[in-house]
Structure 1
Amino acid sequence: MKMDIRKVLLFTFLLISTVSFGQSFTGQQINQGYAIFSDDVTFIFDEKIYDKHPTQVTVTGSFRGWSSDMDDSQWQLKKIGGQWILTLNNKDFEVISPQAEFKFRINDGEWLSPASVSPNQKGGNLVFMQDAVLPGLKAELKSENLIWADVVGDRPLNPSDYIITSAAGDTIKVAGVLPNGSTTTLITPETPLNKKRVYYLHIPSQELSALCSFDGWFRETFSTKELGANIDNGKTTVRLFAPRATMVKLYLYKGKDDKKAYETIEMKEDINGVWEAFFDKDLHGVWYDFTIHGHKDPGNLFYETTNVHVSDPYARVSDDTWGKCRIWHRTVPATPLAQGIPAMEDVIAYEVHVQDFTDNLPVDESIKGRLPAMHKAGLKNKKGEKIGFDYLVDLGINTVHLMPIQEYIHYPTDDWKASFKDDEYMISQGVSEENYQWGYRTSHAMAVETRYRSLGKEAGEERNEFRDLVQAFHDKDIAVIIDIVPNHTAENMDGNSWIFNFNGIDKQYYYRTKDLEHIGDYGNEVKTENRPMTQRWLIDQCQYYIKEFGIDGFRIDLAGQVDQQTLIALKNAIGEDKIVYGEPWIGSNDPEFEANPDWDWYKEDSPITFFQDDSRGAYKGPVFKLTDRATDRGWAGGKFDERAAVMRGLENSNKEDKTPNSGITYLDIHDNFALSDQFGGEKFDGRTSVDQDNYKIAVTLLYTSLGPIVTNGGSEIMRSKADAPLKEVVKTTNKGYKVYMHGYRDTYNHRTANQYKWETVGQMPKEGNTNDYKNMYKFWKGMNEFRLSEYGKVFRTGGEVAEGYYQFITPKEDNLLGYIVDNKVFVLLNSGEKEGSFNDITLPEGNWKLIANTNEVNIKKGVKDKKSMMKLKGGQTTSFTLPSTSLMIWVKQ
């Protein structure tokens, strides 16, 4: 039951007497994490209910853009006894609005889920004034003759109490008002409106005004026609969806750099806002763009305001994002995997960036850093070790997860090189010659990244090169999935505002906006809810990469910003056999999205497999800051109070896990610190001295977890990012583009730090570098073989398992952990610095073979250790002593 805001404030004020160092809080206020005192709000972090004793506490949430800055003093709580307190003035809810979501963060950046007793939980966050209702007005333009309004508070029903104004300043009287529900209201104007224009609805007596959003007719505008430029049977069709355009012109050019089109066509609009042009000829290779014409209202970026041509969001070929696109034939896809796509529970994914993987390969300069180098066979380093494609095949993974290969923005090369050719920092990071990027800034979702095309080949040939890459992996029975970025686009990155396509076609349709302007932590947020054609764009790109390239699934970047219904529709459209997983965290900055349970989702109601960060944190520690070896490397590295969380991670019994396939388990991924740096000694620098035994214990936890797993490419050879100094650097190009460099905590634009150092393959410890790269690769390869073997089937299960599937052995020393899995696999781990004992263990009947220890994994021959431990007889009670920082795995034969 919802409560009037005035009653909420009065009730809260009566409960609390005074705000002082001696203040006390009610149990409800402590549990919900805040208290209200007149115009002030006090955040409360209680150590008892969280069972945490931190050294630092901050609060973050939608009201500060979910900032991860722990050093901003205005959001730091102060300790008073067993509580941490922060009081802010919140008059008229100018800082924290009702229904705002928030979270506490502690120590070096650990995100805390709400306490179990918190009554105001939603999607893994706490909610401020969850049940409060403020007087307000919302309005939707439904048609030329109808506005659909939501009036909260005292609602007048007299038409004279309402006024409609246009963005041009015209006033339109209201002819009729009728209630629909308790707040929903139908408003009829005296004269028809132009639904492509901007209007406002006002209730002057209550000082309420609202923009008439376009949701009313946008949510019902849909077409199934194929969009983009398509060639079939020698004829070409070009279609573009632009519902508020008053005219769309299509321009055809013979060359990319032509200033003048050889033909200009005024396209025709159908009843659903799709603009079309038809040609009785094959226009393969022709360059094209559009002008989108419309009213010069606030928030519009049509040609009349910008004088800018736009490109096709469905274009098959975009040559480096800027400028015209190219019409191209459909691509013939790679043949499917002979054995079918791996089931989700069987997935061992290997995340890899094309340029990082291929930059240092001994290949021709024309393909360095490019698609063909990714699958070039027969390459070896100076030690004679396989590298590149053969190396990856030998590693034994079954799924290659490619970081973004859809066309993404790079800053123009001429400006970039002129700006940084003599900059020592940029030279040291390998980025003085080009704007290197990971690619999480898609500009054209249907086009393959231009800079991955072989030098000297014409624009469009990258499509066949990508298809050939997929085919090469398919021929080795390895699935290929791609990383898609549907949550934000390149048009508003790094504080810039460009018009490539969506902004100029109709910013109000494709993006979430507030007061007609962009919202979002990454410059903009793509709007899939209430926008069926944006839903289509997301689904179309996935179907398209399956149909034209033969790929096997998707990792969805910041999937938590894509509404739940769209993700359900996506999975249905592409087929249940496809691999799909993504990030559940970081929701929308649109409160309507967050407040709608049909759109907003989190791990407990995830429509896709999500990244299981709870397991990651327990296994190897936090990801944002590294300061203390004892606390920042998880259970494997010395934080022994994480043992219970490790056990939950192994059996996928975290509170949101419904089945082992609910979450995908991982240790590190492209974001944040590399695993080798997390275990990189006192200085967290993995270039020369990784704590390899702790590292292997973390790997063992990963590989003995239920359900799918994903690994960060290069971790198998302890790839470090520490070549990027851990400091914040801001650069500006000559044209004024900002460049933010974060060092090795986030190397998205550091080229050198991300490159594979192929000379380390096969390298053993030497003077100045104690890392045994050869042994680590062999260990990791053995783990892959183990997990995909008959023995490893105990972990590759997607359904619920019986109680006791994992039989845990927990000595009183919490640095020790053992487990018997499905009576077939037996694991012992000691992550401490002293030897530890496991006493009186009775294994199930049968013969048990030792197949792994801290030195090696060998499922065929087994591994050598103390004779008494190499082979065990089940049914007998045995005790074990494990050396410090060590592991052992037996299997029942």
Structure 2
Amino acid sequence: MRDWKFNHIDFSTYPDYTGSDLGVFWTPEKTSVKIWAPTAKIVEFRLYKDGESGEAFYKTQLLANGDGTWSTVLTGDYEGKFYTLRINDGEWLDETPDIYARCVGVNGLRGMVFSPEKTNPDGWENDSQPKLTHFTNAVIYETHVRDFSVSESSGIQNKAKFLGMTEEGARSPEGLFTGLSHLKELGITHVHLLPVNDFFTVDEEKPSEKYNWGYDPLHYNSLEGSYATDPYNGAVRIKEFKKLVQALHSAEIGVVLDVVYNHTYFAKESVFNQSVPGYFYRQKPDGSFANASGCGNELATERFMVRKYIVDSLKYWAEEFHVDGFRFDLMGVCDLETMRAIRNELPGLLLYGEGWTADSSPMAEEFRAVKKNISKLPGIAAFNDDFRDALKGDHGSKKSKGFVSGLDLHEEAVKFGVAAAVHHPQIVYDYVESSHVAWAGQPAQCINYVACHDNYTLWDKLKLSCPKSSDEEMRKMVKLAGALLLTSQGIPFLHSGMEFCRTKGGHHNSYKSPDSVNQIDWSRKKEYYDVFEYFQKLIQLRKQHPAFRMTDTSRIQENLSFCTEYKIGTVSYCLNGDEVGDFWKNIVVLFNGSRKEVSHSLPDGKFRIMVNGDEFFEESQGEVVSKEVVLTPVSMTILVKTEG
């Protein structure tokens, strides 16, 4: 019986390999195979005609090559054939694909030999990635491939598939745009997709029988087959995902992939442990698997070959699929050096993650990519959960409230988010309960959000904390939350459907709930069309005015000031637009979270109202006021100083 405890092993003695040729690579004349397995004594390579059944028609042994690698070359054309490896390190391990498998058959049981060039859709060589001159120009929209199109109300033909996100012109039963056309209409810049790599818990042969978000990785470099029209041919899923990327890029929308390099679904049975037992995982002092992921294991990102694997994997997705960024699930499990290596190897890509873990780790916090260490990771951002909870209340408590739901005397936490979690001399950090110090070094290191796939949707959280609120009051709260997100410094992040009051019926952890819970009900767009239009205008406002997306901390410190008197239940500030290239030279932004009208004083001079509640005015239309302005309940007001 194998001992799955590893406190007797010094993994630092294992040889490192720096080559870029690990995996299975096809040409018409030959297929090359190379793996890293330093503890192996025998490595057997098997070829199959089928991706899940039948006996191997060919077996051969790999030869040891030094630095822990084993390889072979198969002469002939093996395109479309399936393969596995089996390793003996003193006893036989399980039969699996290699850890670098880039193409797999149904349910990831076997790897597939394929031609990458044949997976390119027409025009792929001309695919053009949207240009992002600065990360703070991004407006991110998080969604799940299946949620996005599975509802009958989507009007999309390829429901729950990669191809569903490529269809233009789809409409809801009420005649409004859904899917890709909706994204273009809304104006977001990037789509963040929940995991699309091969995960375990959905049976690809019966994809409608189970649901999962996909945070249960099986193969990191292969795509999920349940999202493909043919789960048996791994090349099909690759081509269809490239079509998804191509369609979004054609719409000037970037693609961010949610990646889960903190744990694997299996521990002992994983492809890693069936290749090099123990090496890819952190251990507790007793040698058992550590569990900072809360899922039974955590990857040892600090080890050379684990770090190399993650960097190689990310570069593959960026180069082969033209993706524009990555979101790191439980990034706080990863070590700082690995995240710096990722940043160095992927210049220009949008990188952000969760700056926390789900449980304790044997690696000291000072060495990990947690939120408090984000300033040590230039060019990498973390989610601002301080702002999230300040706006809607504690994410895990049904009844807790935040600024938009009427909580007073916690305005400093809202200001913390307005300033993108960078240090601002006018914020009293002792009053920010969740973070007593600024943690972002630059505004592009802060992802401001109020809802995501985790926990309650914004609508559901507000409904639970304000059960007596009318539908009209609920709309106002959602709009105010959106206004705060989309006018604050940093990078705004929207949960799909938030713009038309998405609900999951009060479910707070829907990772395996059915489509009836998770699907986007596109008919709500008609019902809450005023909310959609408000978000649409907010995004356009942000794009037009660089004052809301400053690129440097010093600019925020110098040109954003909390310049008006403090009033309970309100947050207000001034922007010096002239200094940051905005044609609005002096801007006053006021948020009223209270349930009553508030007369609020203004700086000296005359100001034209540009936004008042739901109304966005043209440059010469808004009312001109001085000394004070009346703020309607639960609303944003923006004024611009007039000349003279």
Q: TM-score per shorter chain, which class?
A: 0.7 to 0.9
In structure 2, the residue matched to 1:346 is: 137
User: In the alignment, is residue 884 of structure 1 matched against residue 638 of structure 2?
Assistant: no
In structure 2, the residue matched to 1:650 is: 418
Name which of 553, 576, 590 aligns with 1:822: 576
Give the superposition deviation at 1:672: 0.7
CA distance in 2, matches of 1:648, 1:861: 30
Name which of 603, 614, 622 aligns with 2:372: 603
Give the superposition deviation at 1:614: 1.4
1:624–1:882 Cα change, 3 Å: same
In structure 2, the residue matched to 1:758 is: 522
Name which of 313, 323, 330 aligns with 1:541: 313
Percent of aligned positions with the same letter in both sequences? 26
User: In the alignment, is residue 594 of structure 1 matched against residue 367 of structure 2?
Assistant: no
1:621-636 equivalences in 2 (<5 Å): 621-627=393-399, 632-636=400-404
Name which of 85, 90, 94 aligns with 1:295: 90
Q: Is the 8 A contact 1:707 1:798 kept in 2?
A: no
1:694–1:241 Cα change, 3 Å: same
Name which of 295, 307, 310 aligns with 1:522: 295
Q: Is the 8 A contact 1:686 1:718 kept in 2?
A: no
CA distance in 1, matches of 2:244, 2:439: 36
Give the superposition deviation at 1:264: 0.2
Amino acid at match of 2:611: A
Name which of 351, 360, 365 aligns with 2:151: 360
In structure 1, the residue matched to 2:583 is: none
1:699–1:310 Cα change, 3 Å: same
Give the superposition deviation at 1:233: 6.0
User: In the alignment, is residue 776 of structure 1 matched against residue 531 of structure 2?
Assistant: yes
Q: Is the 8 A contact 2:395 2:456 kept in 1?
A: yes
Q: CA RMSD in A?
A: 2.8
Q: Is the 8 A contact 2:204 2:225 kept in 1?
A: no
Amino acid at match of 1:716: E
In structure 1, the residue matched to 2:508 is: 745
CA offsets 1:324-379 (integer angstroms, 9 cap, x no match): 12112225456454652352111111011010001025689972100111120111
Higher strand share: 1
User: In the alignment, is residue 506 of structure 1 matched against residue 281 of structure 2?
Assistant: no
Amino acid at match of 1:223: T
Give the superposition deviation at 1:505: 1.1
Give the superposition deviation at 1:479: 0.9
In structure 1, the residue matched to 2:408 is: 640
CA distance in 2, matches of 1:862, 1:670: 41
Name which of 48, 54, 58 aligns with 1:253: 48
1:796–1:282 Cα change, 3 Å: farther
Q: Is the 8 A contact 2:352 2:383 kept in 1?
A: yes
CA distance in 2, matches of 1:368, 1:839: 52
Give the superposition deviation at 1:619: 2.2
Name which of 439, 449, 472 aligns with 1:666: 449
1:454–1:650 Cα change, 3 Å: same
Name which of 309, 314, 317 aligns with 2:103: 317
Give the superposition deviation at 1:795: 2.3
Q: Which consecutive residues of structure 2, in runs of 5 or more, have no partner in the other structure?
A: 424-436, 578-585
Give the superposition deviation at 1:560: 0.8
Q: Which consecutive residues of structure 1, in runs of 5 or more, have no partner in the other structure?
A: 1-166, 169-196, 201-210, 297-301, 418-430, 725-743, 764-772, 864-869
In structure 1, the residue matched to 2:60 is: 265
CA distance in 1, matches of 2:561, 2:115: 57
1:699-714 equivalences in 2 (<5 Å): 699-714=482-497
Q: Is the 8 A contact 1:341 1:552 kept in 2?
A: no
Higher helix share: 2
CA distance in 2, matches of 1:357, 1:657: 32
| 1:580 aligned counterpart, secondary structure | strand
Q: Is the 8 A contact 2:193 2:257 kept in 1?
A: yes
1:534–1:553 Cα change, 3 Å: same
In the superposition, the TM-score normalised over structure 1's length comes to 0.64
Q: Is the 8 A contact 1:853 1:889 kept in 2?
A: yes
In structure 2, the residue matched to 1:461 is: 236
Name which of 835, 849, 853 aligns with 2:612: 853
1:318–1:798 Cα change, 3 Å: farther
User: In the alignment, is residue 579 of structure 1 matched against residue 357 of structure 2?
Assistant: no
CA distance in 2, matches of 1:336, 1:793: 32
CA distance in 2, matches of 1:342, 1:686: 42
1:102-141 equivalences in 2 (<5 Å): none
CA distance in 1, matches of 2:459, 2:466: 11
Amino acid at match of 2:215: Y
In structure 2, the residue matched to 1:214 is: 10
CA distance in 1, matches of 2:199, 2:319: 21
In the superposition, the TM-score normalised over structure 2's length comes to 0.88
Q: Which has the higher contact order (CA 8 A, sep 6+)?
A: 2
1:685–1:265 Cα change, 3 Å: farther
Give the superposition deviation at 1:256: 1.8
Give the superposition deviation at 1:381: 1.6
Give the superposition deviation at 1:802: 5.4
1:790-869 equivalences in 2 (<5 Å): 791-801=545-555, 803-823=557-577, 824-843=586-605, 848-857=607-616, 860=618
CA offsets 1:792-823 (integer angstroms, 9 cap, x no match): 44424244225452232454531122221125
Amino acid at match of 1:240: I
CA distance in 1, matches of 2:131, 2:465: 46
In structure 1, the residue matched to 2:246 is: 471
Provide the aligned length of Structure 1 versus Structure 2. 607
In structure 1, the residue matched to 2:624 is: 872
Q: Is the 8 A contact 1:650 1:701 kept in 2?
A: yes
Give the superposition deviation at 1:558: 0.6
